Amino acid sequence: MSLRSIEWAFTAGAAAVRAIGRWHWIVVVLLLLPAPLSAQTTTPPAQKETIEADVSTRTVAVDTGFTGTRIVVFGTVEHSRQQRADEGLYDVAIVLEGPREPLVTRRKSNVGGIWINTTNYTFKDVPSFYAIVTTRPVPEIAPKPVLWQNGIGFEFLRFAAEEKVGSKELEEFREAIVRLKSEQRLYVESERGVAFIGKSLFRATVDLPATVSIGEFNAWIYLFRKGELLSTYKTRLGLQREGLEQQLHSFAIHQPLGYGLASVALAVLAGLAASFSFRKS
Amino acid sequence: MQVYLPIAELSVNVLFILAMGGAVGFLSGMFGVGGGFLITPLLLFSGVSPLVAVATGANQVVASSVSGAITQWRRGNVDVKLGVVMLGGGLLGSLLGVQVVKELRQLGLSDLFIILCYVTFLGIIGTLMVIESANAMLKARYGKTSAPRKSSQHSWIHGLPFKQRFHRSKLYISAIPPVALGAFVGLLSAVMGVGGGFLIVPAMIYLLRVPTTVVLGTSQFQTVFVAGFSTLMHAWQNQTVDAVLALLLIVGGVIGAQFGVRTGQHFKGEQLRILLGGIVLVVGLRLAYDLVVTPAELFSIAPLDAK
């Protein structure tokens, strides 16, 4: 009975929080909270910690006005043994990965005084977007083999080239991809981007720039305690072209001839309009 | 106000693109040129990829040449027959140019090729314009007149077969030179996204000896179709025409051109030409500088095209 009333109190509290608006994601978390509460009374506290999480937006619309977006990743550690947020018992690593795409990488060299693309490799399945957000610098979280196995961090992103490449050159090109993508803010690393709020609740933000690829994004959330991987949670979100932007893009790709005719017609009309509107003036 | 360009895949400021179109429109109105050869480099400097810059530039040229051609048409300054003959070569040249770009794109060399074409043509045209207009200014100042160029009545051009009569231009010449000239300009239109007026106008005057009154109208008349064809082929074969970007440039250009025309009336012809020659040279040198200077980043990445 008393547990039931606690739950009621939580629901009422959650409704109040909902009213605040920008903290609406807390609702979801608070609804999850009764689980550890009941766990404390019915089961021994030694139960293994697990992680549950979600993203603030499941579907992002990309239209002509798209200037990028911010995704909030939030979740909770069930059976948390932390007493306070700043105890630092747990490490959380969030990997948000955009659709994988083939990528051509080129290197310039000087040929007769002019810089020309001379070497190029095609890499299959390069994440178009990759964000790694953690509670601490990646190398401090877990031993290398664990990070490598799960592909956590830039260092453990592996790309396979279609052509035969020497391992030294492959590494050079791999670094170049990470560097160039980072400059475009498409590869993002945030060393202390995950913050604990309370003993089990955490949140992080990831910014997607306007140039981000359209498609399915996967988010992996890893929970570590002292270098040991305790739990993994996977969720996803999608970026969809919408509105005029979507229509124009698919028109241009799927009906290139029709799109070309329309582009020319538009230009001719604009030219006609210009010459007629300025004729009288 | 930001807008996301669907093909260039960039988020740009609308006012910035309008202003860019306006500035080029101003210059094209002032100097009486199409402006395609300025639009494409400016798009390159703004981070648009060369292929999209060229294809979108060609689209913009369609609009500016339509309004130019209509003005000339009203004055009866279009030699339709000559224009159509040149157009025959122009369409072939454009077709070839789009294919060349498509093949080079596969090799990763299209960007370099486009920029090399720009450096070459802007360098040559800019230098010639500066020299010619400087000479004209000097002559005007010192009142010296050189002997007028002798119009050789029987140059090699008159020995060619397939002679045609072009009534409006009062010419009886072989169809080969106009077709060849058209083809070359068509090629440039496809590869560089320009109307080619900077090349076709002097060539028509000095090589074909077309009366100057008819030159501008006829060249703009054929540019409408050649640039339109290049745009169509780029959209079809390469999917590189950004209609949103083109429309913004066109709107800016139309407005800018009106002010340009008025401003241009306050200057003498040779003053305008030396100014334009200077601008052309600066743009060309800026592009050349990027080719020669050691790049900060040797690597580049690009999405692999579906086909």
With CB atoms and an 8 Å threshold, state whether B301 touches A177: yes
In one-letter notation, the amino acid at residue A3 is: L
Residue B148 parent element (H or E)? none
With CB atoms and an 8 Å threshold, state whether B251 touches A270: yes
Tokens of A263: 């582009």
Q: Chain B 277-296, CB below 8 Å of chain A: which residues?
A: 291-295
The distance between the two most distant Cα atoms of chain A, rounded to a whole number of Å, is 88
pLDDT (0 to 100) of residue B241: 93
A41 vs A44, A45, A76, A85, B100, CA distance in Å? 8, 9, 19, 22, 75
Bridge-partner residues for A74, per DSSP? A54, A203
Kindly report the number of other CB atoms within 10 A of residue B158's CB atom: 14
Bridge-partner residues for A91, per DSSP? A224
pLDDT band at A18 (very low <50, low <70, confident <90, very high): low
Q: Does B47 touch chain A (CB under 8 A)?
A: no
Cβ(B299)–Cβ(A173) below 8 Å: yes
Q: Does A265 touch chain B (CB under 8 A)?
A: no
* Residue B150 phi, psi (nearest 5): -75, 125
Q: Which residue has the tokens 């409408």?
A: B224
Burial class, A84, CB count within 10 angstroms (exposed 0-12 / middle 13-18 / buried 19+): exposed
Tell me which of B255, B301, B305 to substitute to probe the interface with A (most A C-beta atoms closer than 10 Å): B301
| CB nearest B235 (choices: A106, A122, A260) | A260
Chain B residues whose beta carbon lies within 8 Å of the beta carbon of residue A267: 59-60, 62-63, 66, 228, 231, 246, 250
3-state secondary structure of A54: strand
Chain B residues whose beta carbon lies within 8 Å of the beta carbon of residue A179: 297, 299
Burial class, A72, CB count within 10 angstroms (exposed 0-12 / middle 13-18 / buried 19+): middle
How many whole angstroms separate alpha carbon A20 and alpha carbon B213?
A: 73
DSSP label at residue B58: H
Q: Does A130 touch chain B (CB under 8 A)?
A: no
pLDDT band at A206 (very low <50, low <70, confident <90, very high): very high
Which residues make Cβ contacts (< 8 Å) with residue A58, sequence separation at least 6? A236, A237, A238
| CB nearest A122 (choices: B66, B299, B304) | B304
In one-letter notation, the amino acid at residue B78 is: V
How many whole angstroms separate alpha carbon A145 and alpha carbon A1?
A: 48
Classify strands A228-241 and A59-62 as parallel, antiparallel or unpaired. parallel
Q: Which residue has the tokens 């290049």?
A: B230
Share of chain A above pLDDT 70, in %: 82
Bridge-partner residues for B10, per DSSP? B5
Q: Does B2 touch chain A (CB under 8 A)?
A: yes
pLDDT (0 to 100) of residue B89: 93
How many whole angstroms separate alpha carbon B299 and alpha carbon A172?
A: 10
Tens digit of each residue's pLDDT (9 = 90 or more) over A229-262: 999 999 999 988 777 777 888 888 899 999 999 9
Q: Is the pTM of this model over 0.80?
A: no
Minimal C-alpha gap between B153 and chain A (Å): 39
Q: Which residue has the tokens 């070459």?
A: B120
How many whole angstroms separate alpha carbon A257 and alpha carbon A263?
A: 10
Which residues make Cβ contacts (< 8 Å) with residue A33, sequence separation at least 6? A10, A76, A200
A52 vs A17, A94, A220, A223, CA distance in Å? 20, 12, 11, 10
Chain B residues whose beta carbon lies within 8 Å of the beta carbon of residue A112: none
pLDDT (0 to 100) of residue B305: 60
Exposure string over A131-142, b if 16+ CB within 10 A, otherwise e: bbbbbeebeebb
With CB atoms and an 8 Å threshold, state whether A67 touches B4: yes
Sign (positive or negative) of CA dihedral B224, B230, B233, B238: negative
Minimal C-alpha gap between B209 and chain A (Å): 29
How many whole angstroms separate alpha carbon B46 and alpha carbon A64?
A: 19
pLDDT (0 to 100) of residue A8: 59
Tokens of A166: 């020497």
Cβ(B284)–Cβ(B292) below 8 Å: no
Q: Does B63 touch chain A (CB under 8 A)?
A: yes
CA A11 and chain centroid, separation:
30
pLDDT profile of chain B (307 residues), mean per 10: 80 90 88 82 87 92 88 86 91 92 84 89 88 85 58 62 77 83 90 83 82 85 91 91 93 88 80 86 90 85 63
Chain A residues whose beta carbon lies within 8 Å of the beta carbon of residue B70: 271-272, 275
In one-letter notation, the amino acid at residue B286 is: R
pLDDT (0 to 100) of residue A11: 60
With CB atoms and an 8 Å threshold, state whether B301 touches A210: no
How many whole angstroms separate alpha carbon B294 and alpha carbon B64?
A: 37
Tens digit of each residue's pLDDT (9 = 90 or more) over A144-168: 999 988 889 888 887 888 888 788 8
Please count the residue pairs, one from chain A and one from chain B, whose beta carbons lie less than 8 angstroms apart: 175
pLDDT (0 to 100) of residue A253: 87
Which residues make Cβ contacts (< 8 Å) with residue B107, sequence separation at least 6? none
CA B184 and chain centroid, separation:
12
* Nearest in space to B239 (alpha carbons), one of A250, A262, A104, A252: A252
In one-letter notation, the amino acid at residue B9 is: E
Chain B residues whose beta carbon lies within 8 Å of the beta carbon of residue A64: 3-4, 6, 244
Tokens of B54: 């060229």
Bridge-partner residues for A77, per DSSP? A51
With CB atoms and an 8 Å threshold, state whether A266 touches B243: yes
With CB atoms and an 8 Å threshold, state whether B300 touches A262: no
Tens digit of each residue's pLDDT (9 = 90 or more) over A96-141: 999 998 888 888 888 888 888 888 888 888 999 999 999 999 999 9
| CB nearest B302 (choices: A104, A256, A260) | A104
Supply the DSSP string of B155-167, one letter for each residue: -GGGG-SSEEEET
Q: Chain A 24-83, CB below 8 Å of chain B: which residues?
A: 62-68
Residues in chain B: 307
Tell me which of A249, A263, A275 to substitute to probe the interface with B (most B C-beta atoms closer than 10 Å): A263
pLDDT (0 to 100) of residue A38: 47
Q: Chain B 80-109, CB below 8 Å of chain A: which residues?
A: 108-109
Chain B residues whose beta carbon lies within 8 Å of the beta carbon of residue A67: 2, 4, 11
